[in-house]
Chain A
Amino acid sequence: MATPWLLVARHLRAHWLRSGLTMLALTVAMFLFCFLISLVTSLSSAVTAAATDRVIVQSAVSLFVALPKDYQPKIEAIPGVEQVTKFQWFGGYYQKPENFMGQFGVDHEVFLDMYRNEIGITEALALDGATASGDDVNLTPVVRGAGAGAAAVAAMAADRRAAIVGEGLARDFKWKVGDTLPITGTIFAKRDGSAWDFNVVGIYRPLKSSMDDRTMFFRYDYLDETLAADGATGPKGVGVYCVNVAPGHDPEAVIAGIDALFSNGPQATLTTTEAAFQAGFVSMMGNLPFFVGTIGGAVVFAVVFSVINTMLMSGRQRMHETGILKALGFRNGALARLMLGESLLLSLLGGGLGVLLAVVLATPLRYLLGAFLPNYFVAASTVWLALGVTLFIGLVAGITPAIVAARLRPTAALRSEG
């Protein structure tokens, strides 16, 4: 079963331009393939990682219609409800409109407790021991590690303008705890035209893929009180309520209870599980998996032909050499293995590089995609799928020249010009 494998590498090197261009095509194709598949998996991961014991209450009319604030105590009173926090989309930007990011007003104490398993505070400002309240608060140096969570809770409670930000945002904008962020409101504009000031009291790291590291959470009451004092314009009320279901209770029963309670108004509600709520966002983009899958499939389809063409050309050029090897005593199987081996090596080098690039560039891409897909990642399953596709391309491209090489009569091969 001797096979002169050295010939595979030598031929790839001898025709370096052709090999290089084919590998480049494969690299680009498999990078795109990984990227497109990762778009879908990243979007779906937020859905699959969503908490099963949490439900979201929104207006039955639209997500953009606010719910009354007095719904909160009524929801809290429903059997099976453990905790409730408001979530109010703020829609501001930092310095310039391109610096788009997620900002939510929340009930800070409940929020930090409710999401303790989904976000971890990595650093926070700690109170200096002085009584602190209102707008003027003295905060002391940074607490990192185990005490940071408790410090963030205290700092949020002490400072009405307090906010915690994701570490992705902090890294991009070079924010650090203690900074004051001027955020210009678009939905909630200040009457005097100034920006809202938020004090960074903590930086968090997402612990699950349902959370990203490019969101800012601030105190809802800061927004609410400013609106009440007519310091800003914007819709009054609450975007959505986020409800944790108590252990041992059926989320479906809680959902039914909430929607039944408000079925007669003043604002009917639509309550869903957190997973269904996340899936709703994905479906807003249309049938994205199908769309992206079609593009990915087309890219792979196109590159298959490119590699087949390369291998057929290589096979034709090597007909004479095939005759020499047969005359020397190499078996048909060895000749077939050479062609198949060259095709597989070419595919795996090019495709493998594309997959490697997709993995290496995942972090920069996450920043580039910014707020649109902040939890972009390349899953291990995507890497294996892409490597499988690469292998498949190599096999498909190499099979025809391999069969031709095996079937070629030695005398006919030796007469050929290739």
Chain B
Amino acid sequence: MSIIQMQGVTKRYTRGGETLTVLDNLSLDVPAGDFVALMGPSGSGKSTILNLVGGLDSVDSGSIVVAKQEITSMASSELPDFRARHIGFIFQSFNLVPVLTAWENVMLPLLLTPLDRAARKKQAEFALEVVGLADRMHHRPKQLSGGQEQRVAIARALATDPDIILADEPTGDLDRDSANAIMDLLRRLNVELKKTLVVVTHDHVAAERARRVLHLDKGVLAREVLNDTSPLAGARR
């Protein structure tokens, strides 16, 4: 069953009087529990897909259904709740709040849940343990390495137990070893915690961890590869 369904989605941007079609009548299905890597040249619409699926941006035409909710027909005031409940974001530049500790960053999205203080604490501890940073929870982002910062960001994305984790170039700012470690961690979230992952990446090595690799070009799906080198490999289509 698809957890993400994009039907005929078109997205255009106007810059300097010129209209650019970033996504052109794109349709895409992502089944629950899938691990998808989006690849393609800059400007091919990879990050736009994440922004649209995450409800950070709106389509010009088409529809998007995420976790059985058509977000393209939602009022803008409903989208924050939708994000808080269903989506975990991971960004290339980590995007931690610098004035908060690792622990406080992870606790941040938990404020949006109906959990009581004790339950929130338990969730945050669990998320930091999953990413292996329980011993660094009281450090500020500046006191952590790039890899550690990204692991805190993953813990933050994981903390509210979302259905979907959207990662935009999660290894883009990391060295090879750290990048491998992060991708392994994301794979664990997919396998062990059954999270649906959609990862935008330029890194072929990183993309090998995904079950499916979707190649985009000029706003359309150019190619889809089932990755049999992935430990999650399934049937080739």
A residues near B, CB below 8 A? 2-4, 6-7, 10-11, 13-14, 320-321, 323-332, 409-411, 414
Is B80's CB under 8 angstroms from A321's CB?
A: no
Using Cβ atoms and an 8 Å threshold, which residues of chain B touch A11?
99
Is B95's CB under 8 angstroms from A330's CB?
A: no
Q: Does B193 contact A (CB under 8 A)?
A: no
Q: Does B26 contact A (CB under 8 A)?
A: no
A413 to chain B, nearest CB (A): 9
A321 to B56, CA, bound (A): 15
Is B99's CB under 8 angstroms from A411's CB?
A: no
Q: Does B191 contact A (CB under 8 A)?
A: no
Within 8 A of A (CB), among B57-112: 57, 77, 80-85, 87, 89, 91, 95-100, 104, 108-109, 111-112
Q: Does B7 contact A (CB under 8 A)?
A: no
Is B81's CB under 8 angstroms from A329's CB?
A: yes
Is B112's CB under 8 angstroms from A328's CB?
A: yes
Is B108's CB under 8 angstroms from A328's CB?
A: yes
Using Cβ atoms and an 8 Å threshold, which residues of chain A touch B100?
6-7, 10
Q: Does B54 contact A (CB under 8 A)?
A: yes
Given that A321-B97, A324-B97, A331-B80 are known contacts, is A411 also in contact with B51, CB under 8 Å in the complex?
yes
Is B111's CB under 8 angstroms from A327's CB?
A: no
Closest to A2 in B: B111
Is A328's CB under 8 angstroms from B89's CB?
A: yes
A90 to chain B, nearest CB (A): 65
Using Cβ atoms and an 8 Å threshold, which residues of chain B touch A409?
57
Given that A7-B100, A10-B100 are known contacts, is A324 also in contact with B95, CB under 8 Å in the complex?
yes
A7 to B107, CA, bound (A): 12
Is A327's CB under 8 angstroms from B108's CB?
A: no
A410 to B112, CA, bound (A): 17
Is A329's CB under 8 angstroms from B112's CB?
A: yes
Can you list 5 A-B contacts (CB < 8 A)?
Answer: A321-B97, A323-B95, A326-B56, A327-B89, A329-B83
B110 to chain A, nearest CB (A): 9
Partner of B80 from the list A14, A324, A326, A411 (CB cut-off 8 Å) is A326
Identify 20 new A-B residue pairs, CB closer than 8 A, beyond the known A14-B98, A14-B99: A4-B108, A6-B100, A7-B97, A10-B100, A13-B99, A325-B108, A326-B80, A327-B56, A328-B83, A328-B108, A328-B109, A329-B80, A329-B85, A329-B87, A329-B112, A330-B80, A331-B77, A331-B80, A411-B57, A414-B91
Partner of A327 from the list B77, B83, B85, B99 (CB cut-off 8 Å) is B83
List the 10 closest A-B pairs by CB distance, nearest first.
A329-B84, A10-B99, A329-B83, A2-B111, A410-B56, A328-B109, A14-B99, A331-B80, A329-B80, A324-B95
A328 to B89, CA, bound (A): 7
Using Cβ atoms and an 8 Å threshold, which residues of chain B touch A7?
97, 99-100
A7 to B100, CA, bound (A): 8
A329 to B57, CA, bound (A): 13
Using Cβ atoms and an 8 Å threshold, which residues of chain B touch A411?
51, 56-57
The listed residue with most B CB atoms (<10 A of its CB), out of A4, A7, A323, is: A4
Using Cβ atoms and an 8 Å threshold, which residues of chain A touch B87?
329
Digitize B207-231: 1 where CB-to-A-CB distance is under 8 Å, 0 elsewhere.
0000000000000000000000000
A240 to chain B, nearest CB (A): 67
A195 to chain B, nearest CB (A): 68
Is B112's CB under 8 angstroms from A2's CB?
A: yes
A410 to B54, CA, bound (A): 11
Using Cβ atoms and an 8 Å threshold, which residues of chain B touch A4?
108, 111
A326 to B76, CA, bound (A): 12
A331 to B83, CA, bound (A): 10
Using Cβ atoms and an 8 Å threshold, which residues of chain B touch A410?
56-57
A13 to B99, CA, bound (A): 9
Within 8 A of A (CB), among B163-184: none
Closest to A11 in B: B99
Using Cβ atoms and an 8 Å threshold, which residues of chain A touch B57?
409-411
A55 to B87, CA, bound (A): 81
Using Cβ atoms and an 8 Å threshold, which residues of chain B touch A324?
95-97
